[in-house]
Amino acid sequence: MKKVSTGLDILVAEQFERLRGLRVGLVAHPASVDSQLRHAADLLSVAPGVTLTAVFGPEHGWLGQAQDLEPVEAGGGASGPRVISLYGKTVESLRPTAEQLHGLDVLVIDLQDVGARYYTFQATMLYCLEAANAIGLRVIVLDRPNPIGGLAVEGPKLCPGFESFVGPHDIATRHGMTMGELARFYLAEKKLENTDVAVVECQGWQRDMYFEDTGLPWVLPSPNMPTPETAVVYPGQCLVEGTNLSEGRGTTRPFELCGAPWFDPAVLAQRLNAESMPGILFRPTSFRPTFQKHAGKECGGVQMHVTNRRVFQPVRASLMMLAMMRELSGDNFRWRTETYEFVSDPIAIDILFGNARERLALESKMSWRDIAAEWEKEETEFAMKRARFLTCQR
């Protein structure tokens, strides 16, 4: 197997030459490691001539200790770099301030994404690019492979008025881009021209690679992304967060497990498998979440078993699941109306889909296939729009 080199690996091979003499701010999380599992913060702390001044942690904290929606406090600074949280108690905390960036010569962003619009690390990168642009701060983005490949594009567009931390800009739900490619895309789309942004590209990555093909070690980028298999289903299964169904948080297989206390697992699995979705089988199961939705209660549900990643379409599969599970739930089903990622209106499912169209269609009992058919033009348009920003064309 040919090993892929990440942007961080490239910096290590260069002995951090491009950062010498500079005061560095680092945006990082637990997966910000090189191929030998050494963390970027540790490497920068001992790099000759480099001063690591501040570490910025995204959602879940730079140590990855916090669950979703859980605010993280700032810390550090006594004998090491300042530790600044970019996920506090307010929506304003999601963006670094000019004061927090003051004194830096360069901001280095090294975040492992999982290829879905709602995974918030790419939103954090965009907000950092905008904050750096406002003060003319130099930025270096260290690229990493998209763990679910760079070929497929899937899901609806994001409409004006539905922007949020789980959808800061109009990209496909499954965007098929690396963080470096997204950075260049955002710079052009947002017309961020007041800052020098360099992308240290991966070497050896090809667009048809899944994470296991890269030879790189998998480190949880967030507490509920334990394996590459989780990342494969996530572009669809995160939609379940917009409902009162359990998406498997509080179990050892989040997002692969899905259900609720009122389901008969055998009936649910039979109905889902009857739809003959390509590349996926649904196994009836029961589980008991230890926290979050239905904590301590036995849930009937299914586990998703992806049998062929090349043909599996996660967003369509989860759309189908929402339609079927809503129908089988009867009066038990409801959309999540509590504040979600600092947004109360629109409701969670609408900002996850990027508009209200899908929710309204499901409520009208429109066929999930007909709903997905409306995505085809939007998927093609996004694929064409992203084309000039793809650094790896194969």
pLDDT single digits (tens) 111-131: 999 999 999 999 999 999 999
Q: Which stretches of 201-255 are DSSP H helices? A: 228-237
Q: Is the pLDDT of residue 253 over 70?
A: yes
Q: What is the pLDDT of residues 58-91, one digit of tens each?
A: 999 999 999 998 999 877 555 689 999 999 999 9
Q: Percentage of the chain surpassing pLDDT 90?
A: 96
pLDDT at 74: 79
Q: Percentage of the chain surpassing pLDDT 70?
A: 98
Tell me the DSSP string of 125-136: HHHHHHHHHHHT
CA 152 – CA 39 distance, rounded (Å): 30
Residue 240 contacts residue 247 (beta carbons within 8 Å): yes
Q: Is the pLDDT of residue 276 over 90?
A: yes
Q: Is the pLDDT of residue 354 over 60?
A: yes
Q: Which domains does the chain have, with CATH numbers?
A: 7-215 (3.40.50.12170), 228-363 (3.90.1150.140)
The band of 154, judged by pLDDT with boundaries at 50, 70 and 90, is very high
Q: Which long-range contacts (CB under 8 A, 24 or more apart) does 245-249 make?
A: 245/293, 245/325, 245/329, 245/333, 246/287, 246/289, 246/292, 246/293, 246/294, 246/299, 246/301, 247/293, 248/287, 248/289, 249/67, 249/68, 249/224, 249/289, 249/291, 249/292, 249/293
pLDDT at 1: 56
Would you say the pTM of this structure is higher than 0.95? yes
